[in-house]
């Protein structure tokens, strides 16, 4: 009986954090922000060697078949280092859906995902929010329409596109009739894009994929929450370190109680959110009835505390926190962006209410 990370998980955390500190210092993130897509394939193949890409791929397809909690540990480390990567879509959401769907195509792609050679994006925004007339439909065997804010799609080889709540299509990004345009957000470290389909032929269409879609979204919510929480962790670490070193009025500013209290408030929000994240991630594999509600709660909760931590950490830094040079804004913006993906706090809370019978079903 144990509510804690295991030895293996602590080792995983340490390994990934160590690797990222070494290979993706913030200077590297600065370089990637100007790329057409920030997701660097060389880095991704190095992460594949660490087992990161196949963390959610079943062992039968050469993955490590680990739990969502293990994936959340990696996501938190990626957020903490502000590392751009297709982890969310390709290592968490797509494998969750494909493993649930099964079949020869899915298994072949899972093998590719685990090796890092196949990167899979996810276009599912329209399942919960249709804007600008978006939506992808079948026209005979071909796909037509557009999908907004698709995740990790620019540099991907394949995308999973939700046609409706029960149907997922898999399309190669280099197929005829597929156009991908990066939609830049405030956050330069995450890839979001518009996909336009003009008669593209999918590799496969999965019917009866409702459960797989829901699981995919819930896994994504937990991983995105973990990523944003990793950003919070870094922003707190940076604020505390700065408060110990910056002097004003002949004292380090961390000796001023107002500054101390800002730091205390941040960590007081952070730690229980981490406990909630562990539980939500664990529940995803172990307690499937509770999992959807917890996935909604953890992402909306981290979005709320994240906004506050992002603001307060910046304030602790004073003017330099507002500069591009200080780099703090990479985390600020990554937290800000997460709030707009996979639901948004209000709609996630409404879904949590519906799931436990506290709100009328939509």
Contact flag: residue 282 with another protein (CB under 8 A): yes
Nearest alpha carbon to residue 285 among 66, 6, 116, 48:
66
Interaction of residue 359 with another protein, rule CB under 8 A? yes
Concatenated DSSP letters for 41-89?
Answer: HHHHHHHHHTT-TTTTS-GGGTS----HHHHHHHHHHHHHTT---SIII
- For residues 104 and 358, which CB has a smaller minimum distance to another protein in the complex? 358
Which of the residues 37 through 76 are near another protein (CB under 8 A)?
A: 69
By the rule CB under 8 A, 267 interacts with another protein = yes
User: Is residue 105 at the binding interface for another protein, with CB under 8 A as the rule?
Assistant: no
Task: Indicate whether 298 belongs to the interface with another protein (CB under 8 A).
Answer: yes
Q: State how far the Cα of 62 lies from the Cα of 77, in Å rounded to an integer.
A: 23
Q: How far is the CB of 231 from another protein (least distance, A)?
A: 18
Q: Calculate the dihedral angle through the C-alpha atoms of 22, 26, 28, 30, rounding to the nearest 10 degrees.
A: 180
Judged by beta carbon, residue 323 or residue 356, the one nearer another protein is 356
Grouping H, G, I as helix, E, B as strand and the rest as coil, residue 312 is helix
Closest CA to 264 of 330, 316, 321, 331: 316
Residue 2 or 132: the one with the smaller Cβ distance to another protein is: 2
- Rounded to the nearest whole angstrom, what is the least distance from the CB of residue 93 to another protein in the complex? 22
Positions in 83-102 near another protein (CB under 8 A): none
Give the 3-state DSSP-derived string for 263-274, with helices as H, strands as E and coil as C.
HHHHHHHHHHHH
Minimum Å distance from CB 10 to another protein?
A: 12
Start-to-end Cα distance in the chain: 38
Q: Is 271 in the site for another protein (CB under 8 A)?
A: yes
Q: How far is the CB of 128 from another protein (least distance, A)?
A: 16
Q: Does 1 bind another protein (CB under 8 A)?
A: yes
Binding status of residue 350 toward another protein by CB under 8 A: yes
Question: Alpha-carbon distance 146 to 133, whole Å?
Answer: 8
Structural contact between residues 152 and 100, judged by C-beta atoms closer than 8 angstroms: no
Per CB under 8 A, 358 contacts another protein: yes
State yes or no: residue 186 binds another protein (CB under 8 A): no
- Helix or strand or coil: residue 160? strand
Nearest distance from residue 132's CB to another protein, in Å?
Answer: 25
| Three-class secondary structure of residue 120 per DSSP | strand
Nearer to another protein, 61 or 303 (CB): 303
User: Is residue 272 part of the contact set for another protein (CB under 8 A)?
Assistant: yes
Strands (E), 93-141: 120-123, 135-139
| Nearer residue to another protein within complex by CB, 248 or 255 | 255
Q: How far apart are CA 111 and CA 105, in angstroms?
A: 10
Closest by CA position to 71, among listed 186, 245, 220, 232 = 220
Residues within window 222-251 making contact with another protein, judged by CB under 8 A? 240, 243-244, 251
Q: By C-beta, is 122 or 236 nearer to another protein?
A: 236
Give min distance, CB of 241 to another protein, in A.
10
205 binds another protein (CB under 8 A): no
The nearest distance, CB 318 to another protein, in angstroms, is 16
Residue 312 as a binder of another protein (CB under 8 A): the answer is no
Tell me the pairing of strands 178-182 and 247-248: unpaired
Distant-in-sequence, close-in-space partners of 122: CB < 8 Å, separation ≥ 6: 89, 93, 94, 97, 150, 151, 152, 153, 159, 160, 216, 220
d(CA 72, CA 79): 10
Binding site for another protein (CB under 8 A): 1-6, 9, 69, 240, 243-244, 251-252, 254-255, 257, 259-261, 263-265, 267-269, 271-276, 278-279, 282, 286-287, 294, 297-298, 300-301, 304, 346, 349-350, 352-353, 358-360
């Amino acid at each position: 009986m144990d509510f804690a990370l295991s030895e293996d998980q602590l080792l995983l955390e340490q390994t990934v954090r160590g690797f990222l500190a070494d290979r993706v210092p913030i200077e590297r993130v600065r370089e990637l922000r100007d790329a057409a897509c920030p997701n660097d394939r060389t880095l991704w193949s190095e992460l594949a060697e660490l087992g990161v890409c196949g963390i959610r791929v079943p062992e039968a397809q050469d993955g490590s078949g680990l739990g969502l909690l293990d994936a959340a540990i990696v996501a938190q480390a990626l957020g903490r280092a502000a590392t751009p990567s297709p982890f969310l879509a390709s290592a968490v959401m797509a494998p969750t859906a494909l493993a649930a769907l099964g079949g020869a195509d899915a298994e072949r792609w899972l093998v590719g995902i685990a090796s890092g050679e196949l990167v899979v994006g996810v276009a599912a925004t329209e399942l919960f929010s249709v804007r600008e007339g978006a939506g992808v439909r079948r026209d005979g065997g071909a796909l037509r329409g557009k999908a907004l804010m698709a995740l990790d799609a620019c540099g991907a080889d394949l995308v999973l596109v939700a046609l409706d709540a029960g149907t997922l299509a898999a399309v190669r990004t280099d197929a005829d009739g597929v156009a991908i345009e990066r939609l830049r957000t405030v956050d330069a470290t995450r890839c979001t894009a518009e996909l336009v389909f003009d008669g593209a032929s999918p590799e496969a269409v999965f019917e009866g994929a409702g459960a797989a879609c829901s699981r995919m979204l819930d896994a994504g919510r937990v991983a995105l929450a973990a990523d944003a929480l990793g950003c919070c962790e870094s922003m707190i670490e940076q604020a505390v370190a700065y408060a110990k070193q910056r002097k004003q009025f002949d004292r380090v500013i961390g000796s001023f109680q107002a500054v101390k209290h800002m730091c205390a408030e941040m960590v007081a929000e952070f730690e229980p959110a981490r406990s909630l994240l562990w539980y939500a991630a664990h529940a995803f594999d172990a307690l499937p009835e509770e999992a959807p509600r917890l996935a909604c709660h953890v992402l909306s909760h981290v979005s709320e505390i994240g906004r506050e931590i992002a603001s307060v950490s910046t304030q602790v830094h004073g003017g330099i926190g507002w500069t591009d040079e200080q780099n703090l804004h990479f985390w600020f913006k990554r937290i800000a962006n997460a709030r707009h993906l996979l639901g948004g706090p209000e709609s996630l809370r409404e879904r949590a209410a519906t799931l436990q019978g506290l709100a009328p079903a939509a």
